[in-house]
């Protein structure tokens, strides 16, 4: 278990949904050309300090923030952006476990939208949630 395995779980869920909705996603440290005049997303994972809560040092607690920035063309109005935020909320509801052979991670907090910023081309809404995974090392 590692932040790498956690990233894979979150990214897979987001990618599957985004492909179905035809929203391109800019992944961290990957080449990406934003589509002109179309909605797109950017994913960033902000891992926190890994902790251990036992005296033997066999426990690992992985926490962090998953951030999904929504790039909506300027002029689309607040309704479309609000609907898109609601879809992200539905995609990552609180207490949802994302699991694979390598990892199991829980969504700890509701998806929260922060203050949007606009330029001439896009209205950008940062959305984020916190996650946690606990592991016992044998």
pLDDT in tens, 41-88: 999 999 999 999 888 888 989 999 999 999 999 887 778 889 999 999
| Contacting residues for 132 by C-beta, under 8 A, at least 6 apart | 61, 62, 63, 105, 106, 108
User: φ, ψ for residue 6 (rounded to 5)?
Assistant: -65, -45
Which one of 3.30.2000.20, 3.40.640.10, 3.30.930.10, 3.40.50.300 gives the CATH number of domain 3-136? 3.30.2000.20
Phi first, then psi, for residue 36 (nearest 5°) are: -75, 130
Please list, in sequence order, all residues whose beta carbon lies within 8 angstroms of the beta carbon of residue 17, skipping any fewer than 6 positions away: 87, 91
The Cα angle at residue 129 between residues 123 and 132, in degrees rounded to 5:
155
Helix, coil or strand: residue 6: helix
**What per-residue confidence (pLDDT) applies to 12?**
96
DSSP state letters, 25-38: EE-TTS---PPTTS
Task: Report the predicted TM-score, pTM, of the whole model to 2 decimal places.
Answer: 0.91
The structural domains of the chain, with segments of one domain joined by +, span 3-136
């Amino acid at each position: 278990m590692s932040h790498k395995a956690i990233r894979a779980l979150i990214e897979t869920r987001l990618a599957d949904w985004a492909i179905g909705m035809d929203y391109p996603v800019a992944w961290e440290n990957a080449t990406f050309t934003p589509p002109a005049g179309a909605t797109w997303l950017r994913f960033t994972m902000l891992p926190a300090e890994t902790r251990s809560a036992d005296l033997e040092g066999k426990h690992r607690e992985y926490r962090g923030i998953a951030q999904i920035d929504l790039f909506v063309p300027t002029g689309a109005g607040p309704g479309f952006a609000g609907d898109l935020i609601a879809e992200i909320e539905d995609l990552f509801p609180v207490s949802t476990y994302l699991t694979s052979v390598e990892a199991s991670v829980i969504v700890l907090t509701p998806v929260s939208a922060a203050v949007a910023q606009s330029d001439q081309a896009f209205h950008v809404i940062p959305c984020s949630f916190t996650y946690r995974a606990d592991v016992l090392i044998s």
